[in-house]
Homo-oligomer: A and B are copies of this chain.
Amino acid sequence: MSELEQPRENVQAHLKEVQDLLRRQSLVESLVHRQEMPRHDLVEDLVHRQHVAELSHKLDELHPADIAYILEALPVDERLFVWDLVKAERDGDILLEVSDAVRESLIETMAHDELKAAAEQLDADELADLAPDLPDAVMEDVYLSLDVEERAQLRAAMSYPEGTVGALMDFDMVTVREDVRLEVVLRYLRRFAELPDHTDKLYVTDRNDAVRGVLSLGRMLVCDPEALVSDIMDDDPLMLRPDDKAEDAATAFERYDLVSAPVVSSDDRLIGRVTVAAVVDHIREESEAELLNQVGLREEEDIFAPVLDSVRNRWAWLAVNLVTAFIASRVIGVFEGAIEKLVALAALMPIVAGIGGNSGNQTITMIVRAMAVGQIGHESGKRLLKKEVGVALINGLVWGGLLGVMAWWLYDNAELGVVMTLATTLNLLLAASMGVIIPTAMQRLGRDPALGASVMITACTDSGGFFIFLGLASLFLL
């Protein structure tokens, strides 16, 4: 279905409509079930069939992406009911669109032949995306059904790991030679039934498939048909390599406003192209993953997944946090004597730890962001540390001062106020330093600085905050 056949309706409205049909449906079903009156069977069967037909008709009208959306928003039983009603020849496209978790739930219910039929509708690059979720036996059968060129494309597409340009690329390029006139190209194009989606340019290659340039459709339309391709093509286009990082390609698309770009091998032969549609999907997925990883969710959850699947998805992060919380607890344990003598310490210590954690998370988020876009070099490190320490010092004196006054007023103990101010300031300084040092160190070690940044900084400011506050109190108050 072409993008443009979509009416301006909202997918929310589609969802609502499907839900209404499902509800009427289940109403009938439960009626039949409750009454169990055989002589009503015929009438109810008719009503039932009418509703199913209506729903199935509704689904036929929808774009695969919209059906995917609806499947994700429905609880498992309703989801599978709807999935059964979808025409088999659309299964492949829809499986591509749904989230990983929901895809699994759908594939589980499909027979070998259904899966094979669905997979065979797809292009090689799409098949490669779906492959990890398909049973091996299905993939083998599908592979055998491909022709030589498609097999080569599938192998190529599957050989690049996720996060590379190779994993984003497709093979829908239209190529022309450079020594022909535009008029010939225009005649050649008229033999196509339609051009591949996102064809904003033709790729000009020589007989060895080496890219000589690109020719944009826009340029073709404004130039004299007598012109030679070589005269009007752009002979120095941006080209991607299949092992480039997907993120770098996304940045290039964003920076230079591209619609498609050629992917070439190390000897400059054209092997595929990346379209802005693949880039947009990549950007969305990445930003989603970033948000989820921040709270230790391994992947997007099917919100209607069984409880145990969800437990598994959230397990690792809770375990890590338990360990860091346990360490912080042992730090407090060391100072139990001090707390026994001055119980106010117990009430005040979480404030010191908390404000350090918040401030540290601000610093580390900002620095990880700047690193992600490559704006922090070796020299800027020191400068940044100095700046963050400055910010921490001001915040420490202001907020710490305020907290000190509050502690003084609450417990009528001026020294306690001074210790509070001092501890808050020191913990903010610790937070600022670790907020710069942790991601910088991770980057030098070749690790992703975003990974676990929030856990690490909070571990530092919790244990550190308790240690600083209770330590200072032991020194000066007892």
Contacts and interface: CB of A to CB of B under 8 A. Distances in A.
Given A4-B234, A280-B283, A350 B350 contact: yes
Nearest to A248: B10
Contacts of A124: none
Contact of A186 (B221, B317, B332): B221
A189 B186 CA distance: 14
Nearest to A190: B222
A190 B224 contact: yes
Query: How many protomers of this protein does the assembly include?
Result: 2
Contacts of A361: 295
Contacts of A256: 3, 6, 63, 65
A345 B257 CA distance: 59
Contact of A217 (B72, B218, B394): B218
Contacts of A197: 257
A7 interface: yes
Given A216-B4, A303-B384, A395-B318, A343 B344 contact: no
Interface in A253-310: 253-259, 275-277, 279-281, 283-284, 287-288, 290-292, 294-297, 300-301, 303-304, 307-308, 310
Contacts of A333: 344, 347, 410
Interface residues of A, number: 138
5 interchain residue pairs of minimum CB distance: A287-B287, A195-B218, A4-B234, A346-B346, A257-B277
A417 to B, nearest CB: 14
A358 B259 CA distance: 41
B391 A257 contact: no
B336 A3 contact: no
Interface in A363-415: 365-367, 369-370, 373-377, 380, 383-384, 387, 390-391, 394-395, 399, 402-403, 406, 410
